[in-house]
Amino acid sequence: MPMIDPERLEHGLVATFAAAGASREEAALIARHLVEASLRGHDSHGVGLMPSYLDAIRTGHMRLGRPLAIIRDLGALVVCDAGHGAGQVMAHEAMKLGIARARAHGMAVIALRDAHHVGRIGHWAEQCAEAGLVSIHFVNVPRSPAVAAFGGIQARLGTNPFAAGFPHPGAPPVIVDFATSRWAVGKVRVAMNKGELLPEGILLDAQGNPSVDPSLFFADPAGVLLPFGEHKGFGLALACELLAGALTGGATQDGSRGESVSNSMLSILLPPGSFAGDADYAERVEKLASWLMRDRESGRAALMPGEPEITRRRQRLTEGLPIDQTTWDAMTTAAAARGISDLLASPLP
């Protein structure tokens, strides 16, 4: 498997997205997000998405150069319409706005509706945590039904991710970030590209029979993913659909299928200073983390959410990004079609 230098690849991605029509700032935000997701081990949401993003730009499903439109502004609550702008740009702007509003009003709720794919949701929780804020994010994936309702066999909901981020002064933030399906779609695609089978309990084939063959998810008729945690994961997925879609006025599942992925996201930003105070919060988080991780003293591998990503990032910064040959071929072909003949040889920005 090729091991790719993340820094050189990031320059190549910036050059490729710029060649596809993105402004310098848009290209930098998209490239940064994809490289960070890969560095943190979420290959399903990393650099391998580049060919599909380029396709979405070509077909107009990802619209470049869009300003974030504010539809309703109540100060602490802002409804934004992304108009299918690049998700990495729209969500970045929406979180910047949310951070400013949370500082001004003691808390903020930001509804971001109808963006192109916003990628790894933990990235947005990290942006808030870097600013010292706790945040909660509910996301839907309209027109991309992939997951059965609990007890059902047809695709009804998206993989509707949930994330929450908590600053942990003196340590990396606690980042809880996952799809509400047992596996994210991109993870099933990565398994298919690597020629691997799935564990049991992830997938049903088009007839509703359990299967471990990832290619059946992409077959016609398509298979369906199962929610995690049985009725509980289904309930959280539905809450994501209702909060990110129905409540914000963004698109919700209506039986249609889009050609490209879009997301709406409801984010709640909470400064610890609005509650018991920054110092009190910092002390409690630290005490709780030590209590939770006490099993480490006996050699157990207990981890805080967010920790596996930090460890993987450290490792991949030195070893490089492992990218399977199928994905790498698709990336280099897509870049070449935009005039970037060597993805790893773009000049430094």
Residues that bind ligand NAD (CB under 6 A): 42, 44-45, 117-122, 139, 141, 159, 161, 163, 175-179, 184, 187, 263, 303, 305-306, 308-309
Closest contact distance (angstroms) between CB of 170 and ligand NAD is 19
> Rounded to an integer, what distance in angstroms lies between the CA atom of residue 329 and that of residue 345?
16
Q: Which is nearer to ligand NAD, 118 or 335 (CB)?
A: 118
**Tokens read off for 132:** 């010292």
Closest contact distance (angstroms) between CB of 181 and ligand NAD is 7
Q: Which is nearer to ligand NAD, 109 or 236 (CB)?
A: 236
Q: Which is nearer to ligand NAD, 15 or 175 (CB)?
A: 175
Q: Which is nearer to ligand NAD, 28 or 185 (CB)?
A: 185
Closest contact distance (angstroms) between CB of 263 and ligand NAD is 5
Closest contact distance (angstroms) between CB of 187 and ligand NAD is 5
Closest contact distance (angstroms) between CB of 229 and ligand NAD is 12
Q: Which is nearer to ligand NAD, 14 or 163 (CB)?
A: 163
Q: Which is nearer to ligand NAD, 15 or 133 (CB)?
A: 133
> Rounded to an integer, what distance in angstroms lies between the CA atom of residue 103 and that of residue 99?
6
Closest contact distance (angstroms) between CB of 177 and ligand NAD is 4
Closest contact distance (angstroms) between CB of 139 and ligand NAD is 6
Q: Which is nearer to ligand NAD, 11 or 165 (CB)?
A: 165
Closest contact distance (angstroms) between CB of 300 and ligand NAD is 11
Q: Which is nearer to ligand NAD, 41 or 272 (CB)?
A: 41
What is the 3-state secondary structure of the chain? Answer: CCEECHHHHHHHHHHHHHHCCCCHHHHHHHHHHHHHHHHCCCHHHCHHHHHHHHHHHHHCCCECCCCCEEEEECCCEEEEECCCECHHHHHHHHHHHHHHHHHHHCCEEEEEEEEECCCCCHHHHHHHHHCCCEEEEEEECCCCCCEECCCCCCEEECCCCEEEEEEECCEEEEEEEECCECCCHHHHHHHHHHCCCCCCCCEECCCCCEECCHHHHHCCCCCEECECCHHHHHHHHHHHHHHHHHHCCCCCCCCCCCCCCEEEEEEEEECHHHCCCHHHHHHHHHHHHHHHHHHHHHCCCCCCCCHHHHHHHHHHHHHCEECCHHHHHHHHHHHHHCCCCCCCCCCCC
